[in-house]
Amino acid sequence: MNQNNLEYLQKSLDYLGFGTKLNDVLESAIYRQLEKFSLGINQRYIPGEFRSDPGKGVDQLHFDLNFSKARDSDVYFLNSYDATLTRYNDTPPVSQRFDLERDNRMTALQSYKLLCGLSLQKDIYVKNTSGTTTADREKVAVWFRLDLSVSGNNGNHPLNKFFPGYGFDLEKTIDRYPFNGLDELEKKDAVTRALRYGNLVELSLELNGKQQAVYVAANPRLKTLDIYTKDMQQLWDNQIFSTGQNQEQKAGRAFEGVLPPPQVARQFPWKQQGDENGPKIGR
């Protein structure tokens, strides 16, 4: 068994938000020299609207982490993971396979937010075409959002990416709305940062001449904000402004916050997979 490879995979699991609960079963599966296997784990998350009162509801997320062995060595790779979200409100479960290389190493918490219908921003490295530096790749801040209204033959939903050239300016978008308490730069920066992380943020909004508590999420696709009442009823721009136009129906839900500890899904949570198509290599 390649000890360095095992330690790298264990660190990767921890970095991705799966902790150390799977370390022993991962070592056991590699020791058995399985060509392909999956490890299952369950984690619980507090919806954003319940952060102040977690007893109101908890979301359940099941993960199957997919590993494969290299054809010509004893090195194993974590290629992807399958995530299935069961929400507190009994809506139908939502599933997605996240390929670590293709989908820019989404963490467990990031996958939860995306499956809830929210958007998040993260830095990724792309081919340098700007000519401003000699580096082959450059870091770019990109917004991500799952299109949960569409699914392919494999059941996956398109993971949309919105690059800076798309034109979504979060700060200017926030300034369009009559939020209360964002005059202080420090407060506004904290709200902006939370929205970029994909959080549902609680703010105070002037509505019909009165201050009303609302939840806010970023929507880069429509270059706007998704705004909800305290009972998660969506507010549209024509309700907020005296003159406004109806917007296209938008999807969005809530979240954030992990309830420790995660539970190993089965006593021996690996599922040996067939190798008809050969192992998929990549991290």
Q: What is the mean pLDDT of residues 19-29?
A: 96
Q: Residue 101's Cα: distance from chain center in Å?
A: 15
For the chain, the structural domain boundaries read 1-107+253-283, 170-240
Angle of helix 3-15 relative to helix 23-31, nearest 10 degrees, comes to 150
Res. 133 pLDDT band, cuts 50 70 90: low
Return phi, psi of residue 258, to 5°.
-100, 135
The per-residue pLDDT for range 154-208, each reduced to its tens digit, is 889 999 999 999 999 999 999 999 999 999 999 999 999 999 999 999 999 998 8
Q: Name the burial class of residue 133, with classes exposed (0-12), middle (13-18) and buried (19+) by CB atoms within 10 angstroms of its CB.
A: exposed
Contact at 8 Å (CB) between 202 and 212? no
The residue type at 213: A
Q: What residues does 43 pair with on adjacent strands?
A: 61
When the pLDDT of each residue in the chain is averaged and rounded to a whole number, the result is: 86
Instruction: Please compute the mean of the pLDDT values over residues 91-101 and round it to a whole number.
Output: 95
Average pLDDT on 128-152 reads 84
Nearest-Å Rg of the Cα atoms of the chain is 21
pLDDT of residue 132: 63
Q: CA dihedral defined by 119, 122, 124, 128, rounded to 10 degrees?
A: 90
Structure tokens belonging to residue 237: 């721009």
Sheet holding 94-99, edge to edge: 94-99, 76-86, 59-69, 36-45, 258-264
Query: Phi-psi region for residue 203, left (φ > 0), alpha (ψ -120 to 50) or beta?
Result: beta
Cα angle 200-64-11, degrees, rounded to a multiple of 5: 80
pLDDT of residue 258 exceeding 80, the answer is no
DSSP H helices in 45-145 = 108-115
What pLDDT does 264 receive? Answer: 41
Structure tokens, 83: 């995530």
**Which pLDDT belongs to residue 53?**
80
For residue 241, name the pLDDT band (cuts at 50, 70, 90).
confident
Range in 76-85, 117-126, 219-228, 246-255 with the lowest mean pLDDT: 246-255
Query: How confident is the model over 73-95, as pLDDT tens digits?
Result: 999 999 999 999 999 988 899 99
Q: What is the pLDDT of residue 208?
A: 86
Cβ contacts of 42 within 8 Å, gap of 6 or more: 60, 61, 62, 63, 262, 263, 264, 265
Tell me: pLDDT of 134 over 80.
Answer: no
How far, in whole angstroms, is CA 83 from its chain's centroid? Answer: 10
pLDDT at 98: 98
pTM: 0.83
Predicted pLDDT of residue 252: 35
